Amino acid sequence: MYHANWADWYLPAAMPALERLFFGRLAAGSRVLDVCCGSAHVTKELARRGYVVTGIDSSAALIEIARRDLPGIDFRVADVRNLRLEERYDAALSTFDSLNHLMTLEDLRAAFTSVHAALKPGGLFVFDMNLEDAYLLDLRQWTVSIKEDEVGLVRGLYDTATKKASTELIWFVRSRGSECWRQHRSVVDQRCYSETEILSALAEAGFTGAKPVEARNAGMDADLGMGRMFISARA
């Protein structure tokens, strides 16, 4: 469901911000680590621009899709909190609030430390994360997508006390050649961190020169940019 329904959603909206903060600062041929690459929606753009890319994600199922669609790219199933990479990269990119899926501040620090260790000295790290304003939008309102053989429903839930956000997904897929539909359910959790917590965790991991910018101020589409922060830093 993620691969089908989010394929053309994030990247077009984020492109102005990524041009300014990442693509415009990195020469073609640079080695790039795509952190939490999912099924390679953004990895495809990195490869198209001539970067030498390694994509990592903890989901074996999404990496399988990525390898199928981009067989020439180096994809690996790996946990960003404890990466063990022999290569060193010129830059790392993490998009679509992937790092909000880390549920504790200790996990976030560990992820930043792993990325720092994977970069060359002075390497660029750019990522985006959702702040609280993003999670307060459209609470408990279902969004529905309807296709010939699939119906999906998505809604967001957020607890202001615990800072825990959940995306509830229900989707129905029609069996091939049949009128029977199978129901699937999933809940995907995220954690909301403050800008101060994020910047402190970056500094503790060894990054310097961290520069936060609101996504909308970086040119991102308003719908996805609300409450989203892009941050760039150097190893």
pLDDT tens track for 99-109:
999 999 999 99
User: What mean pLDDT is reported for the chain?
Assistant: 93
Whether the pLDDT of residue 140 is over 90: the answer is: no
CATH number listed for the domain at residues 134-191: 2.20.25.110
Whether domain 2-131+193-234 has CATH 3.40.50.150: the reply is yes
Q: What is the C-alpha to C-alpha distance for residues 61 and 183, in angstroms, rounded to an integer?
A: 19
> If we measure between CA atoms, which residue out of 183, 127, 222, 220 comes closest to residue 1?
183
Pairing of strands 228-234, 119-130: antiparallel
Confidence of residue 177 (pLDDT cuts 50, 70, 90): confident
Residue 223 has pLDDT above 80, yes or no: no
Could you tell me the pLDDT band of residue 5, with boundaries at 50, 70 and 90? low
Domain locations in the chain as residue ranges: 2-131+193-234, 134-191
The percentage of residues in the chain with a pLDDT greater than 90, rounded to a whole number, is 81
